[in-house]
Amino acid sequence: MTTLLVASTGGHLAELHDLAPRLGVGARRWVTFDSPQSRSLLEGEDVVFVPPATSRDLVGAVRDLVVARRMFRDESYERVISTGASVAMAFFVPATAAGVPCAYIESATRTKGPSLTGRLAARVPRTRLYTQYPAWATGPWSFGGSIFDAFEAEALTQPPPVRKVVVTLGTHERYTFPRLLNRLVMLLPPDWDVLWQVGSTVIDRMPAGARKQVPSGEMRQALAEADVVISHAGVGSALAAMQAGKRALYVPRRKAHGEHVDDHQVEMARELEGRKLVVAREVEELTLADLETAAAWCVRASPGVAPFRWTSS
């Protein structure tokens, strides 16, 4: 039978897509939102697009629940695996009612404990819970492995001069990052070649050529050709940079500035800098020297990455 792989677009989908080869599933069907990212990333896959639901979006979650109930009524599934966010609960509830086992893999952004979705998933009967950090694998939570185990950093013997840059601020509809965009507009020389993916962020001095979202195929090529990548501290952006061989300059959003629901990006930046996979900086600290530091390293695939470790029945 078919396994449902369920995730919101953005970092949640990027994580699940990256983990998919390690999950040991056979036939699979993806459930996500319709976006340039999902269409590009899942091209050729079996995909069901459901209504988009943003963070803590009750109306969107109810719409997804209606779709989920119809899917479980019309067809049988082997299990449901999700990395979040609210769309996970929309599918877990009717799946459990239909006797379909569920597994929730908490996002790698959650370095110290579960998200709101993770806490809600823990209340769904017979749902198995997985963290990507052994430090908080306690109680119902088991350590299954980390997406970042697949990467390692290496210093370059001849770092390139920085002239070509990719800036990606994420594509979240609700949360913007004007502090970083304003800083970069002032910092980056006007003769540099810069691809700007700014999401919903708008400032008075918008950079020339700024785009809300770049299709995944085009973004992958731009990342591969870039001398350095500057990113908000989202997991999807980090993965995209690493897959392109780049050690990103990684800037966390801050809750105090209304840039996200909490400070999990700060924790994410610390985790990845500890692994030497990014160069983490606060907005106010950014200098051109930081770009050169990031460009002086590359990221490579780690050999022999272990399959995801499911707990036994």
Q: What is the pLDDT of residues 56-68, one digit of tens each?
A: 667 878 999 999 9
Residue 179: pLDDT above 60?
A: yes
Q: Which of 137-151, 152-166, 200-214, 258-272 comes out lowest in average pLDDT?
A: 258-272
pLDDT digits (tens, 9 = 90+) for 262-288: 888 999 999 999 999 999 999 999 999
- Tell me if 3-145 shares its fold with 152-301: yes
Identify the architecture of domain 3-145 in CATH.
3-Layer(aba) Sandwich (3.40)
> What is the CATH T-level fold of the domain 152-301, as seen in this structure?
Rossmann fold (3.40.50)
Alpha-carbon span 268 to 204, nearest angstrom: 29
- The number of angstroms, rounded, from the C-alpha of 82 to the middle of its chain's C-alpha atoms is 13
Q: Return the higher-pLDDT residue of 221 and 262.
A: 221
- Segments making up each domain of the chain, as ranges: 3-145, 152-301
Alpha-carbon span 121 to 64, nearest angstrom: 16
Neighbours of 76 (CB within 10 A): 10
Q: Can you tell me the mean pLDDT for 286-305?
A: 94
Q: Return the higher-pLDDT residue of 295 and 172.
A: 295
Residue 313: pLDDT above 60?
A: no
* Percent of the chain topping pLDDT 90: 79
pLDDT value of residue 11? 86
Long-range contacts of 136-140 (CB under 8 A, 24+ apart): 136/112
Residue 41 phi, psi dihedral angles, 5° rounding: -65, -35
pLDDT digits (tens, 9 = 90+) for 180-200: 999 999 999 999 999 999 999
Mean pLDDT, rounded, of the chain: 93
The bridge status of strand 79-84 relative to strand 3-7 is parallel
